[in-house]
Structure 1
């Protein structure tokens, strides 16, 4: 294993704070005679925010991109001048509007864009995608509701499964929606729903996500090098924002697939809107194909609700949201020789967004409760008991100032009170009961330098004032993310940062399917896990509608909590400290023009773990990965998609042989010594073998049409078109080969009123 010791200990913490303060002071200046433009962009039909909409001032080099709430601000505009504002968004008609800017004032506009009928997209020019040239977005993938609608559906659209199209994201096959980012474990990925941590975001043994894509308006996925806004995980951040509901009229929808049935209702309320969605498992036959045709009485549902209140003041933008999310999974077997399973997620949150009148400042405040309870009840089976309960009460607040030069200063704080309770039994039959609680206080600050069009830098740090674990890690978590354009069509990007994670999970690397991963606070005998990210990237926009980007990364992990497979008594520790590293190269090509969307990606990667001085490949280590996705709008409401996946073989532990092992029932039996022989498996070194390559082709066809006052969408999809027999695993007792999904046609029907 290679270690970059020089870079590992390169932590410029001493000069980091002084640079941040110096930049902040230089950015806070008020120029006389200049004004600002603030606004938000929404869909004209339902009032939903349009994240990442593009706002350009004609005849200038000034512009902005709307945030997740559809809001934007442009500063440093000449007072007393009238500007022509162009607002565009993919799938919507571009809007042009004139706005007069008053000196020393902030002008506010509310923009409504009209969606283009899908049947006309083949013949009518629509808004183009545009990013700010100096945007510090290395490692960030932005996906809006239009992109979500184009995601490959499979059995039904699943956001977690769709992440595999992002280079650097690995999975272990068709049977799990768990994802692994740049050599990190699945427990190192933070999933946020409206800013609240989701601790077990999976249905049915991890086969599907609990997040229904139809309730999502936009998402941001950071696969590394994320800035000081986020913390608490070592590898990635998935930030999901739900829809607000139709602000103009009441509406309902119902969808049925081979897996679930779901429904939603939404509409306006005084000074706001609401939306409620629900999904319930209906059919079990399709799930049997995911688990080698074994019977499992899956039963799950998820429910979400959101109520929003919007300011009617024309001079500021205020939004208050109250939301809830609940999910339940149950597997109850009538046979007492089989185990029962149950998982429950409950999330409640309140959110307040405020853009203050006549000052270029906005703030975000939220309070939330997130809880998870999971249990495996062995009954009379050979399954091992597991029980986990997590309760997370959080309060977050931050404030952002935008200077005349377009620079941004952001400061905030996060307080978390977390309580965990865990019970489990290892393979040797040793039982462990752990209960702990703690308070985590974090302060963060960053400066976003955006005053030059060809250069941008986001520099900041998180300060861990209080940690959940007693053995503290790094007090400072400095982060840097920068972009430089030597030419208008070429951007060079880089990121570096230190990351810590107080919460760990009980993970058994030998499990083929992970039922669920119990969460707990890092034990006192271990230090807090820590990671250092180094990322270098390049983006080329030489040809219209075509973007080619590449990234190279190195990630060093230390103090990772690994399950102690040698624990034999209650006095032995449940975890041992490990370390690891991951590095690789990723390429991504996006082509988007009118009726065609094409995405091609390739990644070459290596990842290693070291536990007790033993180095091995983790089960998700994949050397080569290729994905492609083609979407074509055929017109007249028809749309087709084609997706192809290729991965080199995953590691596995080979069997070297068997022998008959003598077992004794009672060594102290006075009547004599009796024993019996059973076959015993001899295993090779861990994960030195490689499974055959994996590849699969999926096809999809969707038709949208309007019948009376009803909008109908019918999708037909075929998974594994050429019936590739991708291996899942070999059964160790029989040597039988178990494959992943076979050729499988599915269909989904959606009706909207």
Structure 2
């Protein structure tokens, strides 16, 4: 570990020194916003007359270094009007800008386009959805962040109604979900029918179907990356909607020198049936999200965010009397703190600390009666399950000319606790049989398990433009697992080459391991699950790992600028599966 740490420090310092190249004495930096929503825009290309260019990051920030003073600047982003600016440095070597882009519809003649995520420069082995696209995807009841990817080749589901996804032969527990870089475990409402994220808070989402970046880890098959909106700092605005399944509200705007985003969603059938029919609908769910972004200085951006969700299931029935201290409920909580400092010369350092927890709790006693209201059998059910993740991460990013470098160090503690006691009586038949099969296949009615693990992870990745037609991304992730006393090296690379302006060929490889494993493969009657139990490997020989190989081609602009063909072959060598 000492050798690895020294190597990473050396790389970081070397890259920082490299970034201090004094051959580019002039700098243009700034933020790019959507003119209508005032949200910061990621992926906008800023270029000057001498062909120097830069791209805005997830916070809308860009930095362009020049050999000489530029008089003209061009800003482009798909879906927005191109903007041309005249720059005046005066006697300064640095200019700061606030740029606002106007949305522009993409007009086509004679064709209908559904989904535009293939139109941008392809990212190997991944698909993305951008703002506005989610509402265009065929919906089940209402827009869902996960269900949007189910139409992709290689993505399957356990059932037609489920939003849980299995990618390229992997089990659904082999896909990790991240919101703003925070892992979210068991991220589903209504026992897997809906994802727990309100689509109104999402800026974009990307599914890495294989060979995902080394900045992520712990998933055997794939990664689903969700990024929330930044909010606007111009005026407070809000929206509300009533869908077939839930009612939701969102609000964002300036606050105390920064900007905030808050949203909430809840089902309403329990209220509706009580008011109209006088009966109690036994189930509801809700979720809450909040985010606050504050610029501590012109180079320092502080972000705090929180997410909370809960599903609750009542047990009332005309044949039972329920004495309950805690009705069956499950959900998630995460708290996040992030401080990003923008250095000179296209570099930044981000310190991120978060806690993510998924839990399920039950403490009920059900008395069954016969038709004469005499006391019959009794069920007592107690469940106390949770998965916790505490992580601190330091990441250095740099964008020297023709490169995108990232170096990171991460300390992670995961804790798992399961404790349940479920009576084998008629309670099982009320909803699903057997209840304990919700956790893993053929689980006993009484069970207890506790475990924790500490990981020290480090990664380095560099995306290099070799020539105008070729690009190489190479990465290495190292993980030390404390209890197993083992260290894993996980290499990754991808290479792409443009044989023609509209023909790209790519190949990639990556090795990945999974922190935990499950014992659930849908072998019982329980098709949906509110809480899946996972376990730590007992020894290093049983750590689940996989090797990903992929190669393919992308043929774009076949009939028009919005038509493309992608063909890809892949192979996953998966080992030590439970």
1:480 equivalent among 493, 516, 522: 493
Distance in 2 of aligned mates of 1:522 and 1:277: 38
1:374 equivalent in structure 2:
360
| Corresponding residue of 1:389 | 386
Decide whether aligned partners of structure 1 residues 525 and 480 sit closer, same or farther in structure 2, where only a CA change above 3 A counts.
closer
Q: Deviations over 1:365-387 (max 9, x none)?
A: 21111111114668669999764
TM-score, structure 2 normalization: 0.81
Matches of residues 240-639 of structure 1 in structure 2 within 5 Å?
240-283=226-269, 297-310=282-295, 313=298, 316=299, 318-335=300-317, 336=320, 341-356=328-343, 358-375=344-361, 387-403=384-400, 405-423=401-419, 427=442, 429=444, 431-465=446-480, 467=481, 470=484, 472=486, 475-511=488-524, 512-515=526-529, 516-524=531-539, 527-543=542-558, 544-561=561-578
Contact 1:55 1:88 in 2 (8 A): no
Show CA shifts across 1:591-626 (max 9, x none): xxxxxxxxxxxxxxxxxxxxxxxxxxxxxxxxxxxx
> In 1, are the aligned partners of 2:23 and 2:67 still within 8 Å (CA)?
no
- 1:79 aligned residue: 68
- Residue number in structure 2 paired with 1:112: 100
Contact 1:87 1:95 in 2 (8 A): yes
CA offsets per residue over residues 451-495 of structure 1, 9 Å max, x none?
A: 522111111111113x265274x6100110121112222111111
Distance 1:549 1:402 in 2: 29
Distance, in Å, in 1 between the alignment partners of 2:161 and 2:119 is 36
Q: Which runs of 5+ in 1 are unaligned?
A: 1-13, 288-294, 562-753
Deviates more, 1:413-422 or 1:424-433: 424-433
Q: 1:320 to 1:376 in 2, by over 3 A?
A: same
Partner of 2:184: 198
- Contact 2:411 2:455 survives alignment (8 Å): yes
Counterpart position of 1:49: 40
CA deviations over 1:21-54 (Å, ceiling 9, x no partner): 79x7796672525544433321123321222233
Partner residue of 1:726?
none
User: Which residue of structure 2 lines up, in the alignment, with residue 63 of structure 1?
Assistant: 53
How far has the Cα of 1:506 moved from its partner? Answer: 3.9
Distance between the aligned counterparts of 1:53 and 1:156, measured in 2?
Answer: 30
Residue pair 1:140, 1:223 contacting (<8 A) in 2 also = yes
Which shows bigger deviation, 446-455 or 523-532? 523-532
3-state SS of the aligned residue for 1:349?
A: strand
Coordinate RMSD, CA, aligned: 3.6
CA contact (8 A) 2:119 2:562 kept: no
Report the structure number with the largest CA radius of gyration.
1
- Alignment of 1:226 with 2:212, yes or no, is yes
Between the two proteins, the alignment pairs up a number of residues equal to 520
Select which of 39, 44, 66 maps to 2:30: 39
CA contact (8 A) 2:40 2:232 kept: no
Shift in Å, 1:267: 1.7
CA distance, structure 2, for counterparts of residue 73 and residue 130 of structure 1: 27
Q: Distance in 1 between matches of 2:248 and 2:164?
A: 23
Structure 2's unaligned 5+ residue stretches are 110-115, 274-279, 367-377, 421-435
Give the 3 Å change call, closer, same or farther, for CA 211–428 of structure 1 in structure 2. Answer: closer
Structure 2 CA distance for aligned equivalents of residues 254 and 469 of structure 1: 48
Measured in 1, the distance between the counterparts of 2:482 and 2:385 equals: 17
Cα offset for 1:112?
A: 0.8
Local SS of the residue matching 2:542: coil
Going from structure 1 to structure 2, the CA distance change for 1:541 and 1:114 (only over 3 Å counts) comes to same
Deviation for aligned residue 1:167 = 2.3
